[in-house]
Structure 1
Amino acid sequence: MRLVTWNINSLRLRLPLLARLTSDLRPDVVCLQETKVPDPLFPADDLRALGFEHLHYSGMKGYNGVAILSRHPLEPLSDLPVWYEKADCRHVAARVLAPSGSVELHDFYVPAGGDEPDPEANPKFAHKLAFVEETARWFANRPNQRTILVGDLNIAPLEHDVWNHKQLLKIVSHTPPETERLQTWIQSGFVDAMRQFVPPEEKLYTWWSYRNRDWKASNRGRRLDHVWVTPDLLPELSGMTIVAEARDWPSPSDHVPVVLDLAE
């Protein structure tokens, strides 16, 4: 099974890019974040035309929004928490009934947290920290088997997940309060699948700011997008790719797709 996760930064605006990705990579499942489309306007017909017959999504006008697109049947998970008591379309989950074996799949879009890393002065940062704390507790108190968690988690946890560790320690997405909470979440039953293929001492990015005029030259990236798996899936991991060239596509997202391959 080939799985892609991508913060597409407006699904309807970037449908042509999704079509290109689908044609180039032939993924079985695509998880999207920041779809920015309310459910009644979700472009289901366009996505089915790309081969994704099975869709599970939650969206709202203008921001947030998550979606799972699949060639395999989906069984949506019900009774998911309302994180931080906000129904703001940041999480969908489903069981993917793949021929190689079903997996439980969670697609997250974690709050960005604003600019000031002070929960007392910045409610957005307080929201982000509470969101990650809640998710960590929830996963720690449930059985997690054959489970994959993906998404834009808006935190770069490791030293080499950012272009300059010391400079970014006080910048939202790499501050200790965020990275410590993310480590607690992953320790609730997961393994960092991307770092199974690229060692922690090597640089690894999935996001380059729109503010960088030449993102390649500056290469001031961060790894904000993640793929985690439960340990029972480790023997099935067969490959991981960051589609960095997508950052140069016409009208690109500032995030690039991450591909995970699982062997039968």
Structure 2
Amino acid sequence: MRIATWNINSVRLRLPRALDLIAEAAPDVLCLQETKALEDQFPAAAFAEAGYPHQAVVGMKGYNGVAVVSRLPIEETERREFCGRADARHVSVRIDGGPELHNLYVPAGGDVPDPQANPKFAHKLEFLAELRRWLADTRSAAQPMILVGDLNIAPLETDVWSHKQLLDVVSHTPVEVDALCGIQAGLGWVDAVRHRIPAEQRLYTWWSYRARDWALSDRGRRLDHVWVTPPLAGAVDGVSVLRAARGWEKASDHVPVIVDLKL
């Protein structure tokens, strides 16, 4: 089973790029974040025509939004609202009677890494804390599960272009990294990408639009993740980060991450 996750940054604007990804990588399941479309605005017919008729979509107007489109039958299991906000950041499905998959879009957190001064950062930390509690209370490490999405945190020193310079930058601050690692430890989640690509190797999935030449400066961060619970750790067969997608016409600032599982 091939799982792809991608913060597409507007599914309607970048539908041609999503169809390019499908043609190039042929995932069995494609998870999208930041779709920026109400559910009735989602291009369901285009994905169905491309061979992905099974869909679970949670949307809102102009912001956020997550979707799962699949060649395999899926059954939606939950759409969780965190922090009392209906802001379209989660959907989970069961894939073809097999593992449950959670598609998440964690809040970015704004620019100031101080929850007292920045309500967006406070919301991010609250979201992560609630996510940790909810998973611990409702799921088990013994369940075969997959968690994917734009988690908006680069946890390792090699997940950012400069660990020292980004320690005070939202997405790599110690408090965020600790929160993400706490979620990961809660159910023993395995970082599927780092399971195959050594932690010593620099790896990014996001490059800012602000860079004049993103490839030359290469000031990236690994914000997009695929995790699996322990029963699936041995099934991780291959991973890839489609760095070239950052150079596509009308590119997202994120690139797709793909994981192959032998189920």
* TM-score normalised by length of structure 1: 0.97
- Report the equivalent of 1:116: 112
Contact 2:109 2:122 in 1 (8 A): yes
Q: Which residue of 2 aligns with 1:152?
A: 150
- What are the within-5 Å matches in structure 2 for residues 39-78 of structure 1? 39-78=39-78
Report the secondary structure of 2:117's partner residue.
coil
- 1:90-129 alignment to 2 at 5 Å? 90-97=89-96, 102-129=98-125
Quick one: distance in 1 between partners of 2:48 and 2:157? 40
Distance 1:41 1:19 in 2: 17
Give the match for residue 135 of structure 2. Answer: 139
In structure 1, the residue matched to 2:38 is: 38
Q: Which residue number in structure 1 is paired with residue 168 of structure 2?
A: 170
In structure 1, the partner of 2:183 is 185
* Alignment partners' CA distance in 1, 2:232 and 2:204: 23
SS of structure 2 residue aligned to 1:187: helix
CA distance in 1, matches of 2:85, 2:117: 20
Instruction: List, as ranges, runs of 4+ consecutive aligned residues in structure 1 with deviation greater than 6 Å.
Output: none
Structure 2: state its 5+ residue gaps: none
Q: CA–CA distance in 2 between the matches of 1:81 and 1:96?
A: 18
User: Any idea what SS the aligned residue of 1:27 has?
Assistant: coil
In 1, distance between residues paired with 2:81 and 2:44?
25
Report deviation, 1:81: 3.7
Q: Secondary structure at the match of 2:83?
A: helix
The aligned counterpart of 1:28 is: 28
Identity fraction in percent: 56
* Contact 2:28–2:72, Cα closer than 8 Å, also in 1: yes
Task: Indicate the SS of the match to 2:203.
Answer: coil
Amino acid at match of 1:135: L
Deviation at 1:38, TM superposition (A): 0.4
Question: Residues 116-157 of structure 1, C-alpha deviation per residue, up to 9 Å, x if partnerless?
Answer: 001011000000000001111111222241100000000001
TM-score, scaled relative to structure 2: 0.97
Read off the aligned partner of 1:83 and give its amino acid letter.
Answer: F
- Could you tell me how far 1:256 is from its partner in structure 2? 0.1
CA RMSD of aligned residues (A): 0.9
- Alignment match, 1:16: 16
- The separation in 2 between residues aligned to 1:177 and 1:86, in whole angstroms, is 23
Structure 1 residue 82 displacement after superposition: 2.0
Distance in 1 (CA, whole Å) between partners of 2:215 and 2:85 is 37
For 1:196-240, what per-residue CA distance to the aligned partner results, in whole angstroms no more than 9, with x for missing partners? 111112111000001111111111000000000001101111100
Q: What SS class does the counterpart of residue 35 from structure 1 fall into?
A: coil
Distance in 1 between residues matched to 2:157 and 2:21, nearest whole Å: 30
